[in-house]
Structure 1
Amino acid sequence: MFFESDRLNFFRPIAGKHRTVVVACLRTLYERLHGPSADYGQNLTRDSLRDLLLPVVQDARHLLAQARQDEADSEDESTLPSLIPDNADDQQSTSAVVRALHSDGWLETFGDRAGLVTAYRFSRAGKLFAEAFWALDRRSARTRQRNVRSCRNALNAALRNIDAYDLVDAYEYAEKIISDISEGVDYFQELVRRLMLEASQTPWDNFMEFLDRFEKEFKKQLTADSIERHRQAIRDVIAQLHSLDDAKSRALEAQLNDIARWAMQERVGASTVDWMLERIEEMVEAACTTKHPELIKAMSVYMQRAASIVQQALMLRGGQTRQAYTAAIAKTASLSGDAQNALLARIGQTLAPAEIRLLDPATFKLRTISQRRKALTVTAQPKVSRDARLAAALYRAEADAFALSNDDVVQRIRAELRLRDRPIRLSSLPTATTTDVLNNMQMVEAIRGARDPSLKITKLPNKLWNDFYAGDDYQIEMKK
């Protein structure tokens, strides 16, 4: 369906011999029509379009010709289509680019009623692809990434106002959290690639750019906007949204189904609100457990590579300094008489400001025999005693004794519901044994984690108090 009618040869302009010129024109056009400094008051006529692209074509053709002279192209371009004739001047080349973009579906014409002329604009497909070329060549305008805090604030607003629009905003912010962190990972990987390509030069410029960006962007991303910092708060708000009473839950569900019909098609389960909250939690967990460590690792790899290259540069500079002393000695040995004395006088004047300090030999003391024995004793590998093994076994047994499977907890409450054949309050469950207490404390988490549509858990306004713990009371029921 994409390659029909006017888009049949859509990619032809950027697949030919002069693709560099075409891409440069697309960037300039997007900046003029949709960039931050775009002039929406005046439409782009054919004359203004030609005047806009003429200097771009001149510069791009000049750079392309210079690059072909410097190095031979590995690709045989004789078989590639050419939009611009070889003997065409800049005016003819600009007209050829405009004709190609218009005929192949990148640009379209429309009637300007104010000026009674024909104006040019991007087609929908042309605008999307031109934006990609423009974004690749443009530095990010953001100084810091705050989608983590925005997601948390939107969830709080959805809980406070019972507003589905805030919930959709939280979903979009959660999607951008991963893209923000991925952008940082790609940035550090690109810096590492530059280091490997330019290892012969000390990367001071890239390193200073990194320090400036770290101060303005990554410092906030790793502290105030850290996913680790806001992770638990987002979890708590999602749990509160899951526990809304029936009236609020139905109102939020109806409003969300009305404004987000795409979610109804993509959801898994009967409730759109539950599906969206689970997706938000999954994206936050993925960003926290996968992407955030990947960002730290990519930053660490770049710092290690940059530090090693800088260290090598300093060692080479120090070696060059030592070679200067060797060259001075060799040159002095090759001279004789007055020439040698004159050279030594100049070297002496150069070395006169230097200050040499020697360590006092009295400060060097050998360690005594007892100190050496103590050092050997500390570095020896300790032997594990029977008491230590017994303590470790007891610790593991105690940890396993208080670990219950969520499946076992769900099976137990399901059997209890079938037996009573009515809803059960968490506060009415028995607490006679340790297993009973642990089951009750783990009940809410187990039911939500099981995602069983036959079980419904509702938060009650009253509190639960017993001899072992205190918290919110819940009502558990089985749907028929």
Structure 2
Amino acid sequence: MMFFAPPREHFFRPLTHDNRELCAAVLRALHERVHGANADYAEVLTRELVLEVIQHALANPALRGLAFEAGQTVRAEEERAYASDLLRKLKEHGWLEDYRDPIDLRPTLKLSRAGKAFSETFANLDDSRAKTRQRNMRSARKALAAFIATRDADELLDAHEFASRVVQDLQDDIEYFRHLIQSLTREALAQKVAWNEFNDFIEKRFAREYAVRLVADSAERHRGQINEALEDVRALDGEQRAGVDAHLLQRAPWLEQTAQGRSPMLWLADRIESMVDAACGLKLPMLRSEMNNYVRRFTSLLRQALSLDYGAESPLGRTMAWLKEQPDPAREGLLDVLARRLATAEIRLPGGVLRWTVRDRESEAVAQAPLVVDETSRLNALLRRAEAEAFTFSDQQVLQGLLPHLQGGPITLAALPVDTAEDAVRVLHAVGAARSAEGRRLIQARKMAGQVSTTYFQADDYELRVEPQDGMDMPSSRAGGADRRH
């Protein structure tokens, strides 16, 4: 696809003139009027409506100064002529295009495909717009649950869309806080404190949006349930998987090229899991760090402003301004008086620091008892070490204990022996080991309807089966793995 082809050959030309801010405001208003939250879909975009939007933008004094000279008296005919000229440019360069209403065949206008995409970008960059992005994580979990219940391919595609929005929203929030920090720096250089932006963040963004995002819709809160749902998706048998794959390719043809020969259903499951992991392990810590940096930076500047009390309206600022306005003789006389009064002042180190230094120097090191290593202390240390390592298992060790039981075929957790506490710990962490990076190559875990109940614990039952592979090696108990301690 060639983007800069007629009529988009000079698509961005309306945004290269001095009135580009006015043009961007008009495009943003047109998108909100046609596709925004308050759009009237029964209203068609006519020429008169576009002219009305442009004239409404011209009513803003800041934007009006870009079109006409300051203080210039502009007649209504001149405003309409300017609006007509801007409308002509938007049509000429591919932002708007003619359209005939299929009902009454009236000639109307509409945003072109490219015009809609870029005007939506202008609208999304406006931070004052109402955004409801708090339920993406919960929506992804519910869409996966609906797919498992109904096998509807659209539900799996919706889950993928919601998961991608989670990562994108977190990245937008990170960029938002970086912008606030840059704004703080600019305001500090101008000897101001950005009260308006900070109040907007606390009262509007944090209380209404980020508090929900970090608590009710936290990626970490729903991560476990999403991973369990994805395991259920992967556990579908071959016939069900083939049916879902066929529906996915019908609903989303782009998956055929993206999946590269893999099952589209499994590719979507892996992609959802990777995006959730990225949100929990990367984006969410970055968001908390940027939020902490912003609050700490604002607090530091506020404390500095209150301690220094700088500014033209402070007593020191008014005094310096008054001194600057005085003639040279009066200024010299005042400075001489201040010099005589300051001549009796002495400069010393703070007494508290001196006393602390002397006391620190005079303090003597406390004598420590000699270290005695006898049979009792060695026995106690050995017992503590044995207690700490009694129930320490790596994923590799759990897998090594499970594989012999799986040689005869699939087995459930309830069928595994629980004769000792070590066996109970192995059964308790069998599913976690099967879902580890090494375990996925060796064992499949599928959730069952019932539960497993022992004298040690009660949990959901799973069916474990060996993953069919050629040349599979038994994991060594000496291999490294993530330790599990109890």
State the TM-score, normalized to the length of structure 2. Answer: 0.68
Correspondence 1:240 to 2:232: yes
Q: How many residues align?
A: 413
Correspondence 1:44 to 2:45: yes
AA aligned opposite 1:179: Q
Deviation at 1:108, TM superposition (A): 0.7
AA aligned opposite 2:229: V
AA aligned opposite 1:191: L
Deviation at 1:44, TM superposition (A): 3.4
Q: Give the Cα–Cα distance (whole angstroms) in 2 for the partners of residues 143 and 100 of structure 1.
A: 34
Contact 1:410 1:446 in 2 (8 A): no
Partner in structure 2 of residue 64 of structure 1? 66
Q: Residues 434 and 257 from structure 1, CA distance in 2 versus in 1: closer, same or farther, beyond 3 angstroms? A: farther
Deviation at 1:68, TM superposition (A): 10
Partner in structure 1 of residue 136 of structure 2? 147
Partner in structure 1 of residue 167 of structure 2? 178
Deviation at 1:221, TM superposition (A): 1.7
Partner in structure 2 of residue 351 of structure 1? none
> Which of 211, 222, 225 is matched with 1:230 structurally?
222
> Which of 248, 266, 269 is matched with 1:277 structurally?
269
Q: Residues 457 and 190 from structure 1, CA distance in 2 versus in 1: closer, same or farther, beyond 3 angstroms? A: closer
SS class of match (2:12): coil
Q: Give the Cα–Cα distance (whole angstroms) in 2 for the partners of residues 256 and 116 of structure 1.
A: 38
Contact 1:58 1:90 in 2 (8 A): no
Q: Which moved more, 1:93-102 or 1:444-453?
A: 444-453
Q: Residues 54 and 392 from structure 1, CA distance in 2 versus in 1: closer, same or farther, beyond 3 angstroms? A: farther
Map 1:315-330 onto structure 2 (within 5 A).
Answer: 315-317=307-309, 320=314
Correspondence 1:300 to 2:292: yes
Structure 1 residue runs without a partner (length 5+): 70-87, 327-370
Q: Residues 453 and 225 from structure 1, CA distance in 2 versus in 1: closer, same or farther, beyond 3 angstroms? A: closer
1:136-176 alpha-carbon deviations (Å, 9 max, x no partner): 23523136612122222222222333433322222211111
Correspondence 1:132 to 2:121: yes
Q: Give the Cα–Cα distance (whole angstroms) in 1 for the partners of residues 197 and 96 of structure 2.
A: 38
Contact 1:145 1:180 in 2 (8 A): no
> Which of 59, 82, 107 is matched with 1:118 structurally?
107
SS class of match (2:155): helix
Q: Residues 96 and 469 from structure 1, CA distance in 2 versus in 1: closer, same or farther, beyond 3 angstroms? A: same
AA aligned opposite 1:180: D
Q: Give the Cα–Cα distance (whole angstroms) in 1 for the partners of residues 87 and 369 of structure 2.
A: 79
Deviation at 1:300, TM superposition (A): 1.0
Q: Residues 61 and 283 from structure 1, CA distance in 2 versus in 1: closer, same or farther, beyond 3 angstroms? A: closer
Q: Give the Cα–Cα distance (whole angstroms) in 2 for the partners of residues 437 and 113 of structure 1.
A: 71
Q: Residues 381 and 13 from structure 1, CA distance in 2 versus in 1: closer, same or farther, beyond 3 angstroms? A: farther
Correspondence 1:211 to 2:212: no
Q: Residues 401 and 38 from structure 1, CA distance in 2 versus in 1: closer, same or farther, beyond 3 angstroms? A: closer
Q: Give the Cα–Cα distance (whole angstroms) in 1 for the partners of residues 32 and 125 of structure 2.
A: 13
Contact 1:268 1:275 in 2 (8 A): no
Contact 2:232 2:446 in 1 (8 A): no
AA aligned opposite 2:98: T
Contact 2:445 2:463 in 1 (8 A): yes
Map 1:349-428 onto structure 2 (within 5 A).
Answer: 391=381, 395=385, 402-404=392-394, 406=396, 409=399, 413=403, 423-425=409-411
Deviation at 1:105, TM superposition (A): 0.9
1:169-193 alpha-carbon deviations (Å, 9 max, x no partner): 2221111111222222222222212
Q: Residues 201 and 40 from structure 1, CA distance in 2 versus in 1: closer, same or farther, beyond 3 angstroms? A: same
Partner in structure 2 of residue 358 of structure 1? none
> Which of 89, 94, 113 is matched with 1:105 structurally?
94
SS class of match (2:7): helix
Q: Give the Cα–Cα distance (whole angstroms) in 2 for the partners of residues 52 and 466 of structure 1.
A: 71
Structure 2 residue runs without a partner (length 5+): 72-76, 321-358, 470-486
Q: Give the Cα–Cα distance (whole angstroms) in 1 for the partners of residues 284 and 275 of structure 2.
A: 12
Q: Residues 266 and 7 from structure 1, CA distance in 2 versus in 1: closer, same or farther, beyond 3 angstroms? A: same
Deviation at 1:287, TM superposition (A): 0.7
SS class of match (1:36): coil
> Which of 116, 141, 155 is matched with 1:166 structurally?
155
1:339-370 alpha-carbon deviations (Å, 9 max, x no partner): xxxxxxxxxxxxxxxxxxxxxxxxxxxxxxxx
Contact 1:46 1:119 in 2 (8 A): yes
Deviation at 1:109, TM superposition (A): 0.8
Partner in structure 1 of residue 332 of structure 2? none
Partner in structure 1 of residue 54 of structure 2? 53
Q: Give the Cα–Cα distance (whole angstroms) in 1 for the partners of residues 185 and 279 of structure 2.
A: 28
1:33-80 alpha-carbon deviations (Å, 9 max, x no partner): 3233334434333344334323434656633379999xxxxxxxxxxx
Q: Give the Cα–Cα distance (whole angstroms) in 2 for the partners of residues 384 and 236 of structure 1.
A: 52
SS class of match (1:7): coil
Q: Residues 171 and 410 from structure 1, CA distance in 2 versus in 1: closer, same or farther, beyond 3 angstroms? A: farther
Q: Which moved more, 1:189-198 or 1:9-18?
A: 9-18
Contact 1:269 1:275 in 2 (8 A): no
Q: Which moved more, 1:222-231 or 1:455-464?
A: 455-464
Q: Give the Cα–Cα distance (whole angstroms) in 1 for the partners of residues 317 and 466 of structure 2.
A: 85
Q: Give the Cα–Cα distance (whole angstroms) in 1 for the partners of residues 261 and 369 of structure 2.
A: 56
> Which of 259, 276, 287 is matched with 2:279 structurally?
287
Partner in structure 2 of residue 35 of structure 1? 36
SS class of match (1:32): helix
SS class of match (1:6): coil
State the TM-score, normalized to the length of structure 1. Answer: 0.69
Correspondence 1:18 to 2:19: yes
Deviation at 1:275, TM superposition (A): 2.3
Sequence identity percentage? 32
Contact 1:32 1:38 in 2 (8 A): yes
Q: Which has the higher helix share?
A: 1
SS class of match (1:109): strand
Correspondence 1:259 to 2:251: yes
AA aligned opposite 1:210: F
Deviation at 1:280, TM superposition (A): 1.6
Contact 1:460 1:475 in 2 (8 A): no
SS class of match (2:134): coil
SS class of match (1:191): helix
